[in-house]
Amino acid sequence: MSYVVIARRYRPQTFEEVIGQEHVSKTLANAIANGRIAHAYIFSGPRGVGKTTTARILAKAVNCEKGPTPTPCNACPSCQAITKGNALDVYEIDGASNRGIDEIRNLREKIRFAPSMGKYRVYIIDEVHMLTKEAFNALLKTLEEPPEHVIFIFATTEIHRVPPTILSRCQRFDFRRMPIKTIMEHLRKICDSENIKVEEEALLQIAKKADGSMRDSQSILDQLISFSGNEIKFEDVAKALGVIHQDEFFHLTDYIRNSDIKNIILTANKIFQTGYDLNEFLLGLEEHFRNILVLKATNSPDLLDTSEVYLERYRELAKEISENDLIGYLKTIGETINAVKASQQPQLKFELGLVKLAKLPKTTEIEQILENLNLLKKKASNNIASDHQPAYSASSQTPPTLDLTTIQNKWKQYVERISAQRPSLSSVLEKAVLKHFNDGKLTVSLGKEGAIISNQRYWLENQLSELLQSSIRFEIQVKKEEAQQAVAAEQSNATKEEIMKQILSKSDHLRKLADEFDLEIM
């Protein structure tokens, strides 16, 4: 007897055995139990998830000798014939090779005949989206009002290519991709039944490679049993399927974070020289960073497609790498995947993409730069404030206890403070007379040296404000006596000048001497 592959030997034979599609199997079983069998169904979904298998189970359920029943016996002649694929009342048609209008016309002629063994004639058309537009149109009327003994079951992986007029005449069931954990559990049961020892990491890689398809995972398992014998290790999976070891992604992550360009180039060259598919490697790296991002955002290990062996390492990376950095990594990897596919020099684009990952600006570096800028800004503001502003803003409230008497009592201490820093100003301040204090403004009366104080006014205000813990502004006044003396001296000088001019105008000799020696009238 010829060998039967695992995918066929472990094909579900009842609705209860269908894995991962409970929403479909339960609905169909209830419909049969309640006598609500439709005349047309359409099953859509990715490859290898149970569409055709479910169609055959449905055919058995309606044609079983005990049926229609949601639990076909698999023992009667009708069930066994359907299982073997030679039932007279169940027709499996390939839509890709029977896609024309002539084939559909022949189908319309045949459906008029009554079933030979069971209660229904079941037509299973796989890849129905491959039918031509004319073929679909020819099927419309028959599909809308078929004979009572006919059931149509369509299966497709591209539901969007099926005309809406067909969809509206069918009950639609969407089959889902198989979760990785579901595939692993089923493969483990098969391995136990076949007495095959398999490592957990090997099962994980098989399930990932299947990409949600249970049939693909079983085919891969069959291949690995032929390759490895009765014990399957991760190394066998890596050799047979070209799978990259997870450690490579962790090492590369360290190189990227440390901007270690040398080791990044060496790793890229090793991957290329080993013969691994560059696109597969980038997809694996993309999934690697996706795991870190998901764990960082949700702290839920159940959402990761990885084994327990690497979970702790993912937790550490999730703590150390920011979300913005991870998003940048994922975006760059996506761009690199497209660049590698489109380039005639894929190795160059591959290496360039990995180097770009290391050269991306890190969030920590940006934050440090911003922090340094803020520090510089604060220092500059402090320097400006010390030169041009009081220590306390004018808008700050003056304490109720601060009055002219208090300032006068503190003035000596203030002069000593100024003397310690700028002695030339202290002698002027000692002679100052404090006149008034109102609303933070201190009126100070000074002698002719008041100009010196005016030039240092902001700094002096700042020093007094710090001492009194309140904002103080100066109003400088020159003493009246000093002002009068200055005016009198100026008037005296003007009078002397007028007298000398009059004398010179009357004496030609003196005027010539003055002009000859460039003398100045004092």
Distance CA 457, CA 306 (A): 71
* CA dihedral of residues 373, 374, 375, 378 (deg, nearest 10): 120
The two tokens of residue 68 are: 């229609």
* Average pLDDT estimate for 422-432: 78
Domains and CATH numbers, the chain: 6-174 (3.40.50.300), 180-241 (1.10.8.60), 246-358 (1.20.272.10), 404-478 (3.30.300.180)
Whether the bond into 68 is cis, omega within 30 of 0: yes
Residues for the chain: how many in total?
Answer: 522
* Average pLDDT estimate for 463-487: 71
The two tokens of residue 387 are: 């030169």
Q: What is the mean pLDDT of the chain?
A: 84
Distance CA 321, CA 198 (A): 34
Is residue 381 exposed (0-12), middle (13-18) or buried (19+ Cβ within 10 Å)?
A: exposed
The two tokens of residue 489 are: 């001296």
Range from 137-146, 154-163, 285-294 carrying the lowest mean pLDDT: 137-146
Which of 30, 61, 33, 57 lies closest to 43, judged by CA?
57
* Average pLDDT estimate for 147-151: 92
The percentage of residues in the chain with a pLDDT greater than 70, rounded to a whole number, is 82
Range from 164-168, 377-381, 420-424, 473-477 carrying the lowest mean pLDDT: 377-381
Q: What's the pTM value of the predicted model, to 2 decimals? A: 0.64
Give the confidence band of 398 by pLDDT, cuts at 50, 70, 90. Answer: very low
Give backbone dihedrals phi and psi of 68, rounded to 5 degrees, phi first. -60, 130
- Does the pLDDT value for residue 378 go beyond 70? no
- Does the pLDDT value for residue 397 go beyond 50? no
Give the confidence band of 441 by pLDDT, cuts at 50, 70, 90. Answer: confident
The two tokens of residue 360 are: 């991306």
Range from 14-23, 125-134, 153-162, 354-363 carrying the lowest mean pLDDT: 354-363
Q: Which amino acid is at 191?
A: C
